[in-house]
Amino acid sequence: ALVSAAGLGLVDTRAAVTADPSRRDPDELRALAERAGRELEGAPALEIARWAAETFGDRFCVTSSMADAVLAHLVSRVAPGVDVVFLDTGLHFPETLAVRDEVARTLPVNVRSIRPRLTVGQQDGEYGPRLFSRSPDECCQLRKVEPLERALTGYDAWAAGLRRDESPTRANTPVVTFDPRRGKVKVNPIAAWTQADVDAYIGRWNVPVNELFRRGYGSIGCWPCTRRTGAGEDPRAGRWAMFEKTECGLHV
C-alpha cells in the first residue's frame, strides 16, 4: 500500500517479496537485453524508452536520484503513469526532496519513495554514528543497495539515467544491458547524451532540476558524501571525495 507522507512524497510500505512467480526467466531477459543493446545503440533516447515500455509494460520502472527529472519526464512521454523509484536514504539534501515532491506533483508518474530498513538513528545505534565517514560501502549497502533490490521486486526491467560523459567509470555504459546481480534488464536511455543535451532537454521541457546545480555541485547524492566541484573537475569528483569510491554500488 502507498501512504501519503512528507507532503506529496510517497512512502512505499510494501514488504519485500522473496518470490515473484510472474517474473520472466533470467536467461530470456539476458538474451533480450543483449539483442536490444546491439540494435538500439545509436537510437534516440525516446525510442529506447519506448522499446522498454512496450516490451515490459508495468514490469518496467524508472529510478531517479532526483538530481533532475529528465529521465522520469522522458519515460513518462511514452509510459504515462510509470513507477519512479526514489531511494530515500534519510540523508538527502532538502533540495533533492523538493525535486522529488515536484516530480510527484507535476509529472504523470507514480513516485515510490523507498526507505532503508533502519532509520538513520537506528543505524547509528547498531553500527555507530556517522557510518558514512568510516565505511561508506557498508552505509551505501544499507541505505541504497538493499532498498533498491527490495524496490525492484516485481519488475523485469528498470531505467537509470547513467551517462557516458559523467565519469571515466561510466564511459562504456550500454543503452540496454542485463544486470546479472539482480537478474533484470537495465535500460540507460540517455547513456549517449552529453551535459549539453541534458541542459537542452531541461530548457525545452521546463523539467524540474535540483537547485544545488546552480550552487556549484556537479553531481548530487547524500549530503554527507557530496561536495561542490571546481572548474575542470569531472562532475562526480564531489562524491565520496575523502575515499577511493566513485559509485554507490547501485550500478555494478
Residues of the shown chain interacting with ligand SF4 in the complex, contacts defined by CB under 6 A: 89, 91, 132, 136, 139-140, 143-144, 221-222, 224-225, 248
Contact criterion met (CB below 8 Å) for 193 and 45? yes
Concatenate the DSSP letters of all residues of 150-185 into one string.
HHTTT-SEEE----TTS-GGGTT--SEEEETTTTEE
Q: Is 248 a catalytic residue?
A: yes
Find out whether 91 and 132 touch, Cβ atoms under 8 Å: yes
Provide the minimum distance between the beta carbon of 87 and ligand SF4 in the complex, in angstroms, as a whole number. Answer: 8
- Between 67 and 140, whose beta carbon lies closer to ligand SF4? 140
CB 74 within 8 A of CB 37: no
The x, y and z cell numbers of residue 247, run together, are 559509485
Rounded distance, CA 79 to CA 97, Å? 23
Q: 61 among the known binding-site residues?
A: no
In the complex with ligand SF4, the residue whose CB is nearer, 35 or 130, is 130
140 is in an annotated binding site: yes
Cβ at position 164, least distance to ligand SF4 in Å: 22
> Which one of the listed residues 248, 249, 250, 251 is annotated catalytic?
248
Q: Closest separation between CB of residue 238 and ligand SF4, Å?
A: 12
> Shortest distance, CB of residue 67 to ligand SF4, whole angstroms?
13
**Has 222 been labeled as part of a binding site?**
yes
Question: 157-159 and 176-179: which strand pairing?
Answer: unpaired
Q: Which of 101, 82, 219 shows the shortest CA–CA distance to 162?
A: 219
* Beta carbon nearer to ligand SF4, 189 or 221: 221
Active-site residue list: 248
Q: Per the annotation, where are the binding residues for [4Fe-4S] cluster?
A: 139-140, 222, 225
